[in-house]
Chain A
Amino acid sequence: MSFLEYAPAPESQSILHLKSDYGLFIDGEFVEGQGTPFQTISPATEKHIANIAHASEADVDRAVAAARRAYDTTWSRMSGSDRGKYLFRIARLVQERARELAVAETLDNGKPIKESRDVDVPLVAAWFFYYAGWADKLDHAGLGANPASLGVAAQVIPWNFPLLMLAWKIAPALAAGNTVVIKPAETTSLSAMIFAEILQQADLPAGVVNIVTGAGETGSALVNHGDVNKVAFTGSTAVGRMIARSTAGTDKRLTLELGGKAANIVFDDAPIDQAIEGIVNGIFFNQGHVCCAGSRLLVQENIHDEVIERLKARLSTLRLGDPLDKNTDIGAINSREQLERIRELSDIGEQEGAERWTADCAIPENGFWFAPTIFTNVSTSNRIARDEVFGPVLSVLTFRTPAEAIAKANNTPYGLSAGIWTDKGSRILAVADKLRAGVIWANTFNRFDPASPFGGYKESGYGREGGRHGLAAYLKPAASASAIAAAPAKPVTAAKAQNASEGAAASARAASSVTAAKAKKASK
């Protein structure tokens, strides 16, 4: 028995009390969806977990109406301190039910329990705790006194960090005084359903948070709904582009957190042990299903061979298998579709001449798996150096000078994150200045904190989540509240004048539907 062979240590599923069917969460209650329910499976076993409701356009409409009602009658009128108290309650309930949430997340997503238990769920609680405290301090958010909420926020989140992305979206929106309709990813709705139960336990007023489950068309109905004021999306750059197009000409505020192809730059004076751990964490954390993953390793030429050798040795000690096992390092790929994309891009990597190395590990019979893989001899034009693989695949390139490292790092339409490994502080500062990326980790990687703004440059999207900056995405300055409504040209102003007697909320709605109609016209 080698030192790698451990007795199985699976986390018990007995903590879960799952229902066989989950409805939509609208206006504080679980209701049936009009679409045909779909099943959610465990990507590690391909076994059925539960049936999930499928929200139709009419369901989305109902959810937005509930959010609008809650915004007009309750949430926008509530004191910031009371909004904050609800968020504190939610943070505490997440902590109390943390293990249950972690097990559900791992079962449904395929990520190792040690990650859902030690990273995802604690950060979810931290996110609500952080933004709870902001709710009655919005005057200090950097937008001047009495900043105004936006209204109803439509939020669409991905499958890689299902509950954490939900927290990133909901916590700042509610703290700022908005109400929410959120759509989880099709393959990972389960933890959001448990979160809905938490909202009931917290006694959150009905309609403040509504959760509509479904696939792409549900998300499309949500972001294109005429009565939402804010759209926040995390996901692929392709879908982000579609949303930017379809919201053009409307007065919907938009933030997008999209793809990445981060460079992780290792200089020859880097603390090598830490750098190896950082490279591994950078690309193999969460099976590489991370938009800010360090998927391009840029290593200084003179230490290339040593780094690769040590990396291979380290990867050979990673345990791939049952995500619920506490000793598992690499869990399951989230879906068959994603697995096929990773395989396709990896095959192209080989065809284009890069040298493939895959860790020697046993692959379970059922489920979706991809062993940690490194490509060396990669050139900058290779697809595996340009396209986001979103899997446990690392492309290795080399450089000689800091200037070359910077040029290669920036040679991508993306700009989400980057890593720098060197013992020289002045070099870190100089290189960090030149990298065109929104988050830069120096001698660390994949760190997240609710106080730390996160988001991209260029085609990695716009807007920030986290910190004071993340709050600003859900607020507008008091003084320009009317100016913003009047800003996008004549139709809005006209609609506003017509509806002046119906109050501000009604006129803002009319304005948004007018511009939405205009947008439809334009997109023909």
Chain B
Amino acid sequence: MTRLAVPKTYKLYIGGKFPRSESGRTYEVLSNSGEFLANAAMASRKDARDAVVAARSAVSGWSGATGYNRGQVLYRIAELLEGRRAQFVAEIRDVEGVSAAAASAQVDEAIDRWVWYAGWADKYVQVAGNANAVSGPYFNISVPEPTGVVAIVAPQDSSLLGLVSAVAPALVAGNTVVVIASEKLPLAAISLSEVLATSDVPGGVVNILTGSPAEIAPWLASHADVNAIDLVGAGSLDWISMQVAAADTLKRVFTPENGPDAAAPALGRITGFTETKTVWHTKGLI
């Protein structure tokens, strides 16, 4: 007798918890061949705002952690992802309709990307900062610091790798994130939140919304408590209006990228959402 499967309920990930959308809305996630896979939560403006509140309250803890600590937490995500490879491969195959080899390659690359960025957490400050030889009796040093809350529209043509490629670098410096997953390929994103929830990432550091980026992203672009917005996956949306809205509070903006190299690993993805702080320390006369 075949066993009846127990399907998973896919929900949002906000403040370390898994709520349904407050709107009560869901939408159908279909496989590449059009079969029903699951109902995903369709996040609303209110969910986005709740996510920003959660992200803001997580900033001081996450940015206040040492780089060594953040690096270990990010590395632990890779460890747990490795342990659940099969689940992610299956989800990617279901929803993207790709071969097992292609799905495996995507998961491998996502894991390796966490590892690569994890290693930057206690080093990017050395590379992006420096001491400044000023003409006077001052010790003067410039260091990069996280900008705060970063909103991300994840690449829309990738289940897992695109999301990881955009989220991981934003976390390295100590930013917290509100990310809108791929609208059509959201399952791996929600499963990733289960990995995040069990890998020492404090609640609120990463908040994952599923639903319509066209509906939610403009609210994040104009939200006054968001410091930066990564529009990497917003190429097919009216992203220019979002960039215009982001100017109201002078958010830092990454513009859309297309193709398989979207959000390719780069130090600039870390430093782009940092602020350089320069401190002048007076030297005493002896």
State yes or no: do A and B come from one complex: yes
* B45 surroundings in chain A (CB, below 8 A): none
Given A453-B132, A487-B257, residue A439 in contact with residue B278 (CB < 8 A): yes
Which residues in chain B, 126-185, are within 8 Å of chain A measured between CB atoms? Answer: 127-128, 130, 132-136, 138, 140, 142, 147
Contact with B along A435-474 (1 / 0, CB 8 A): 0111111111001010111110111011010011100000
State whether the Cβ of A245 lies closer than 8 Å to any Cβ in chain B. Answer: yes
Q: Tell me whether A454 and B247 are in contact (CB under 8 A).
A: no
- Identify A438's interface contact among B268, B276, B282, CB under 8 A: B276
* A461 surroundings in chain B (CB, below 8 A): 250
Given A241-B250, A440-B278, A483-B261, output 6 extra A-B contacts at Cβ < 8 Å: A241-B248, A439-B280, A447-B134, A457-B277, A480-B266, A522-B240
Q: Tell me whether B247 and A245 are in contact (CB under 8 A).
A: yes
Residue in chain B with minimal CB distance to A242: B247
Contact with A along B206-225 (1 / 0, CB 8 A): 00000000000000000000
Given A449-B135, A453-B132, A462-B250, residue A432 in contact with residue B240 (CB < 8 A): no
State whether the Cβ of B71 lies closer than 8 Å to any Cβ in chain A. Answer: no
Q: Tell me whether A248 and B134 are in contact (CB under 8 A).
A: no
Q: Tell me whether B250 and A256 are in contact (CB under 8 A).
A: yes
State whether the Cβ of A8 lies closer than 8 Å to any Cβ in chain B. Answer: no
* Nearest CB in chain A: distance from B22 CB, A: 29
- Identify A248's interface contact among B127, B130, B240, B281, CB under 8 A: B240
Q: Tell me whether A258 and B250 are in contact (CB under 8 A).
A: yes
Q: Tell me whether A452 and B134 are in contact (CB under 8 A).
A: yes
* Nearest CB in chain A: distance from B234 CB, A: 9
23 intermolecular pairs with C-beta atoms under 8 Å apart: A142-B127, A142-B128, A244-B246, A245-B244, A249-B240, A258-B250, A428-B281, A432-B277, A438-B278, A440-B277, A449-B136, A451-B134, A451-B140, A452-B134, A452-B140, A453-B276, A457-B275, A458-B249, A488-B255, A489-B239, A489-B258, A490-B258, A519-B240
Of the listed residues B244, B250, B255, B281, the one surrounded by the most CB atoms of chain A closer than 10 A to its CB is B250
State whether the Cβ of A110 lies closer than 8 Å to any Cβ in chain B. Answer: no
Q: Tell me whether B128 and A449 are in contact (CB under 8 A).
A: no
Q: Tell me whether A447 and B280 are in contact (CB under 8 A).
A: yes
* A483 surroundings in chain B (CB, below 8 A): 261
| CA gap between A470 and B266 in the complex, in Å | 20
State whether the Cβ of B119 lies closer than 8 Å to any Cβ in chain A. Answer: no
State whether the Cβ of A523 lies closer than 8 Å to any Cβ in chain B. Answer: yes
Contact with B along A280-304 (1 / 0, CB 8 A): 0000000000000000000000000
- Identify B133's interface contact among A237, A256, A444, A451, CB under 8 A: A451
State whether the Cβ of B203 lies closer than 8 Å to any Cβ in chain A. Answer: no
State whether the Cβ of A147 lies closer than 8 Å to any Cβ in chain B. Answer: no
Interface size on A, residues (CB 8 A): 53
State whether the Cβ of B198 lies closer than 8 Å to any Cβ in chain A. Answer: no
- Identify A442's interface contact among B246, B249, B282, CB under 8 A: B282
Q: Tell me whether B244 and A523 are in contact (CB under 8 A).
A: yes
Q: Tell me whether A438 and B134 are in contact (CB under 8 A).
A: no
| CA gap between A442 and B135 in the complex, in Å | 16
* B72 surroundings in chain A (CB, below 8 A): none
State whether the Cβ of B193 lies closer than 8 Å to any Cβ in chain A. Answer: no
* B282 surroundings in chain A (CB, below 8 A): 442-444
Residue in chain B with minimal CB distance to A237: B250
State whether the Cβ of B235 lies closer than 8 Å to any Cβ in chain A. Answer: yes
* B44 surroundings in chain A (CB, below 8 A): none
Given A519-B240, A523-B244, residue A459 in contact with residue B249 (CB < 8 A): yes
Residue in chain B with minimal CB distance to A444: B282
Residue in chain A with minimal CB distance to B131: A451
State whether the Cβ of B85 lies closer than 8 Å to any Cβ in chain A. Answer: no
Q: Tell me whether B138 and A444 are in contact (CB under 8 A).
A: yes
* A436 surroundings in chain B (CB, below 8 A): 275
Q: Tell me whether A432 and B279 are in contact (CB under 8 A).
A: yes
State whether the Cβ of A343 lies closer than 8 Å to any Cβ in chain B. Answer: no
* A441 surroundings in chain B (CB, below 8 A): 279-280
Q: Tell me whether A244 and B276 are in contact (CB under 8 A).
A: no
Q: Tell me whether B244 and A248 are in contact (CB under 8 A).
A: yes
* Nearest CB in chain B: distance from A258 CB, A: 7
| CA gap between A484 and B248 in the complex, in Å | 25
Of the listed residues B140, B239, B279, the one surrounded by the most CB atoms of chain A closer than 10 A to its CB is B279
State whether the Cβ of A413 lies closer than 8 Å to any Cβ in chain B. Answer: yes
| CA gap between A248 and B268 in the complex, in Å | 20
| CA gap between A451 and B277 in the complex, in Å | 14
Q: Tell me whether A440 and B280 are in contact (CB under 8 A).
A: yes
* B134 surroundings in chain A (CB, below 8 A): 447, 449, 451-452
| CA gap between A440 and B252 in the complex, in Å | 21
Q: Tell me whether B250 and A490 are in contact (CB under 8 A).
A: no
State whether the Cβ of A150 lies closer than 8 Å to any Cβ in chain B. Answer: no
Contact with B along A243-256 (1 / 0, CB 8 A): 01100110000001
State whether the Cβ of B256 lies closer than 8 Å to any Cβ in chain A. Answer: yes
Residue in chain A with minimal CB distance to B255: A488
Contact with B along A473-489 (1 / 0, CB 8 A): 00001001001001111
Of the listed residues B127, B147, B244, the one surrounded by the most CB atoms of chain A closer than 10 A to its CB is B244
Residue in chain B with minimal CB distance to A477: B268
* Nearest CB in chain A: distance from B18 CB, A: 32
* A336 surroundings in chain B (CB, below 8 A): none
* B255 surroundings in chain A (CB, below 8 A): 487-489
